[in-house]
Structure 1
Amino acid sequence: MSGPGRFISFEGIDGSGKSTQARRLAAHLEGLGHSVVLTREPGGSPGAEDIRALVLEGEPDRWSPETELLLFTAARRDHLERTIRPALEAGQIVICDRFADSTRMYQGLRRAGLRVLVDQLHDLMIGQEPDLTVLIDMDPETGLARALSRNGGEERFESFGNDLQAKMRAGFLDLAAEFPDRFVTIDGARAMDDVTADVTARVTEWLA
């Protein structure tokens, strides 16, 4: 389903620096002559961006985990149809800041047994995994402090606190162990330029 292009996702807890690294990788690959689409989740298409405002703003208990799952899946389906698949079919490299692994973590960890439903709905409505997932690993307390310092207005999940961040970090590392052929784990607790050098080296090697 991915077409002739390549699909790279970035994952990590809030404040891990993954968005910065995704942008830097896109610029690096464009400099090498690749055609790159840089996108994000939730969002990445007009309809998905509308849903983004619903799920990332407001009070922490605004939605139940099940309702969040349906909203994220709807946004991802629109994103897939309108942005990701057309780019992959055109032979472009798609770099996405978060994808389905974030839903497996955020919604899948918030209620016991919900991960099974996350995967079932993903298989039914999405059916797409990245070719490569770059996990930027970060200490939860440091990441949360960074995330809250942004004051960007999309802090609903950050407000769940350090406990969720710690569970998410452990969950992402478990996913990396579960899917070793897809995940590359990068130590994010270093200078930003050092992290960038590591990311670009690993991805460039993978593309070759």
Structure 2
Amino acid sequence: MTQTTPTPAAHSGPGRLITFVGGDGAGKSTLAARLHQALNDAGHRAVLVGKNSTTAADPGLSDYLDRLNTLVYRRDTRVAQACGDHYWLLALAAWYTLQDRLVIQPALAEGTHVVLDNSPHKILARYAVNPGIDPRLTERVFAHLHAGDLVFFLDLSAREALARKGTFTSLEAGHDAGGDEAFVSYQDTVLDQIRHQATAGGWTHLNVGRMDRDQVFKAAATTVSERLGLHL
């Protein structure tokens, strides 16, 4: 059987930004990767951007991005605790700022669609429940980032997420040593904040606890086609 290359889909103007929000274990990365593949298979130009996406057009800038990513995401617990919450909030804001400026915005400007796996909304929710951080500061340091054209909220309870994940990091439990219940308690608190953001932002809500992976993808693909005109 002869294989044919999909004809590029007609598109004019800037690309569209599609983002995913949800608690740890909700399936954001799985859905983002599958949707990115489907967009490319349908002939759309699309890139997948996540917390380790450090490629910019300029090799020197890519190198700088990679070094910043190493500082922000590849750190040990002792360093994280010593530096404190305000430092990490601003370090994360620096990372998202450069990812937005050097990777996302150039792609959108050239008509390439961006699938953003690791959106900053979960960071906003985590700091919103941190009593040591003024929530107005958190909102301000992320306010300049490019807003998503379509935001999916993958809603999954913390207990269901724990059953899927099996294990979790100290960060995912709010640095509480209380075991599984600490994870559930912290994640439920963060989810309440995400749900508030979802209501205020008019995000597309997917109750993924009642859906298998194929159903989640089908619902997301239908929404992309209907809302953005990107047929899959």
Distance 1:69 1:144 in 2: 26
Distance 2:170 2:100 in 1: 24
The answer to whether structure 1 residue 159 and structure 2 residue 181 are counterparts is: no
Where in structure 2 are the equivalents of 1:134-173 lying within 5 Å?
134-149=152-167, 155-160=169-174, 161-173=183-195
After superposition, the C-alpha distances for 1:100-131 in whole angstroms (9 at most, x for unaligned) are 212211122222663211111123xx342111
After superposition, the C-alpha distances for 1:117-147 in whole angstroms (9 at most, x for unaligned) are 1111123xx3421111111000111213433
Where in structure 2 are the equivalents of 1:13-92 lying within 5 Å?
13-41=23-51, 43-45=52-54, 46-50=66-70, 51-54=72-75, 57-58=76-77, 61=81, 63-92=83-112
After superposition, the C-alpha distances for 1:28-78 in whole angstroms (9 at most, x for unaligned) are 11111111110113x322245312213xx5267455332221111011112
Distance 2:133 2:77 in 1: 25
CA contact (8 A) 1:147 1:158 kept: no
- Any unmatched runs of 5+ in structure 1? none
The answer to whether structure 1 residue 177 and structure 2 residue 208 are counterparts is: no
Query: Could you say if the C-alpha distance between residues 47 and 156 of structure 1 is closer, same or farther in structure 2, counting changes exceeding 3 Å?
Result: farther
Query: Could you say if the C-alpha distance between residues 36 and 47 of structure 1 is closer, same or farther in structure 2, counting changes exceeding 3 Å?
Result: farther
The answer to whether structure 1 residue 198 and structure 2 residue 207 are counterparts is: no
Distance 1:48 1:93 in 2: 24
Deviates more, 1:15-24 or 1:77-86: 77-86
- How many residues align? The count is 195
The answer to whether structure 1 residue 103 and structure 2 residue 123 are counterparts is: yes
- Any unmatched runs of 5+ in structure 2? 1-12, 55-65, 175-182
Where in structure 2 are the equivalents of 1:97-136 lying within 5 Å?
97-111=117-131, 114-123=134-143, 126-136=144-154
CA RMSD of aligned residues (A): 2.0
| Identical counterparts, % of pairs | 24
Distance 2:151 2:27 in 1: 15
After superposition, the C-alpha distances for 1:157-182 in whole angstroms (9 at most, x for unaligned) are 223222220011111111111111xx
Distance 1:16 1:94 in 2: 20
> Which amino acid is the alignment partner of residue 218 of structure 2?
A
TM-score, normalized by length of structure 1? 0.85
TM-score, normalized by length of structure 2? 0.77
Query: Could you say if the C-alpha distance between residues 191 and 48 of structure 1 is closer, same or farther in structure 2, counting changes exceeding 3 Å?
Result: farther
Q: Equivalent residue of 2:49, what SS?
A: strand
Query: Could you say if the C-alpha distance between residues 31 and 90 of structure 1 is closer, same or farther in structure 2, counting changes exceeding 3 Å?
Result: same
Larger radius of gyration: 2
Query: Could you say if the C-alpha distance between residues 32 and 48 of structure 1 is closer, same or farther in structure 2, counting changes exceeding 3 Å?
Result: farther
